[in-house]
A and B are shown apart, each in its own frame.
Chain A
Amino acid sequence: GQNIDQPTEMTATEGAIVQINCTYQTSGFNGLFWYQQHAGEAPTFLSYNVLDGLEEKGRFSSFLSRSKGYSYLLLKELQMKDSASYLCAVRDQDDKIIFGKGTRLHILP
């Protein structure tokens, strides 16, 4: 079956760095997305990876290893507004998007 795993919750301190991991087992692979979702709001797109390696976008970076079925989202210089859920999603060989259950990130002052 198709499966995406990510931690349920994480806590980090304002100004610090946090890494949110995602592992996946899917029918084929056509790319991995990370979304941010604040409570009660719509998910918003953060990053896309399809080749191995690191994609950097300001304070956020995303890494992919296709051979290991593994990705992480790295958030630097954490701010209180980064308190949100982070969703890992994979596009499979049939162009279907499968979402993980999300990681709720708490930022402490």
Chain B
Amino acid sequence: EAQVTQNPRYLITVTGKKLTVTCSQNMNHEYMSWYRQDPGLGLRQIYYSMNVEVTDKGDVPEGYKVSRKEKRNFPLILESPSPNQTSLYFCASRRQGNNQPQHFGDGTRLSIL
């Protein structure tokens, strides 16, 4: 089954404790991205990657890191999480091409205390 898989789905942790949210897609998509979704603010892009070893900042990259060592994986790293990073996070992937829609993972709900 074609899918984008994120882990964990839920995490409660404390300020300053490094964490990684994994994202994997099995559709051989070139393009992957991370979003956070907050009430009243909609989906905001954190980082994106157009292919292996190519990553770029989105609209809200501060406090986050990503890597794209393999085509299928695009982990999101919070080196020193803070409470303002409490949010619902989505990973998405798509093929290159203007008409290609994004496929989203099921989301990761992070709470930073």
Contact = CB atoms under 8 A, between A and B. Distances in A.
A48 B101 CA distance: 8
B90 A50 contact: no
Interface string B18-50: 000000000000000101000011111100101
Interface residues of B, number: 22
A46 to B, nearest CB: 9
- Majority-rule SS of A interface residues: loop
A11 interface: no
A66 interface: no
Interface residues of A, number: 21
* Chain B, interface SS category: strand
Contact of B102 (A50, A97, A100, A102): A97
A11 B88 CA distance: 25
Contacts of A87: 42-43
A21 interface: no
Interface stretch (A12-20, A36-44, A56-64, A72-80): A36-44
Contacts of B50: 95
A42 B104 contact: yes
